[in-house]
Amino acid sequence: MRFCVLGSGSKGNATFVESGQTRLLIDAGFSGKEIERRLEEIGVAAETLSGLLITHEHGDHVKGAAILSRRFRLPVFINEATLAAAGPVLDNLPQCQPFVTGQTFVFQDFQIHPFAISHDAADPVGFLLNNGRLFLGYCTDTGVVSKLMQHRLSSCHGLVLEANHDPDLLRNGPYPPSLQQRVRGKTGHLANAEAAGFLSDILHDALEHVVLSHISETNNHPDLAQEAMAAVLESLRRQRGDDCPVPAISLAHQDRVGEVVTLGGKGQ
Ligand SMILES: [Zn+2]
Ligand SMILES: [Zn+2]
């Protein structure tokens, strides 16, 4: 299995995931053209995509979904509340495949489990993708970490995890109080320390790679997100010694594609 965050942040989100012959996008929050361009950068032709998975209806997650779906006849996997809340931007999808949050479904090479997250959208979800051997977790746009998230993401080999903001930068930044409240609220976005605490809770030897995503350009700095995670890994090394397996940590970017990560199933 390999994956790549094509871009992430409040201006657009899309992640490519591949296993066997199946090529998926999780969210399509850039223009269709921009997503095609970013896929090309990692050597993937958009016409070889198999389908789209949608987490929630915010524009930074669905902007290009309908156009890509029409242009390449792609099935769009989405829950009904999200589809209804999206309105015209997702009207007339050629192939809509509704899923039910909490119910696993199978599409080609993937078993896909959508699980509930805490965000100010109709029925927002994270995803756990499984190709029969490896698990990839995807979880952004959540105001809190829940027991359910912990349960679902506790045995991932790869993880795309939100590290949205630093509370001090948010407080001292340009956002008006109401918007600050939305970001830090229970249905907003995860702070660096909350993401780090979550990583610490689910850390296990088979976790190979974590991509920090949805990093705010206004209320965060990539170094701060990275440092919060490094502290978690450092404390693990202190407990278990320098040889203990730790995941690689990379950053997703708003304006360019991230690293293409291949999961190998080490520690299995
Ligand atoms: Zn978002
Ligand atoms: Zn959102």
| Cα 127 to averaged position of ligand 2 atoms, centre (Å) | 15
| Cα 65 to averaged position of ligand 1 atoms, centre (Å) | 14
Whether residue 64 has pLDDT greater than 60: yes
| Cα 8 to averaged position of ligand 1 atoms, centre (Å) | 8
CA 208 – CA 148 distance, rounded (Å): 21
Closest ligand by atom to 61 CA:
1
Q: What is the mean pLDDT of residues 58-75?
A: 97
CA 213 – CA 164 distance, rounded (Å): 7
Q: What is the mean pLDDT of residues 35-40?
A: 98
Confidence of residue 182 (pLDDT cuts 50, 70, 90): very high
Cα separations in angstroms, 98 against 83, 93, 243: 9, 12, 45
Confidence of residue 268 (pLDDT cuts 50, 70, 90): very low
Closest ligand by atom to 56 CA:
2
Q: What is the mean pLDDT of residues 226-246?
A: 93
Query: Which stretches within the chain are classed as H helix?
Result: 32-41, 59-62, 65-72, 80-86, 147-153, 167-172, 177-184, 192-202, 222-240
| Cα 20 to averaged position of ligand 1 atoms, centre (Å) | 29
| Cα 29 to averaged position of ligand 1 atoms, centre (Å) | 9
Mean pLDDT of the chain: 96
The distance from CA 187 to its chain's CA centroid, rounded to whole angstroms, is 16
Per the CB < 8 A criterion, the answer to whether 117 and 149 are in contact is yes
Q: What is the structure's pLDDT at 267?
A: 45
Question: Residues of the chain with pLDDT > 90: what percent?
Answer: 96
| Cα 125 to averaged position of ligand 2 atoms, centre (Å) | 10
CA 123 – CA 125 distance, rounded (Å): 7
Q: What is the structure's pLDDT at 266?
A: 59
Whether residue 168 has pLDDT greater than 90: yes
Enumerate residues with CB within 5 Å of ligand 1 (an ion).
60, 141
Q: What is the mean pLDDT of residues 167-180?
A: 96
| Cα 56 to averaged position of ligand 2 atoms, centre (Å) | 7
Confidence of residue 92 (pLDDT cuts 50, 70, 90): confident
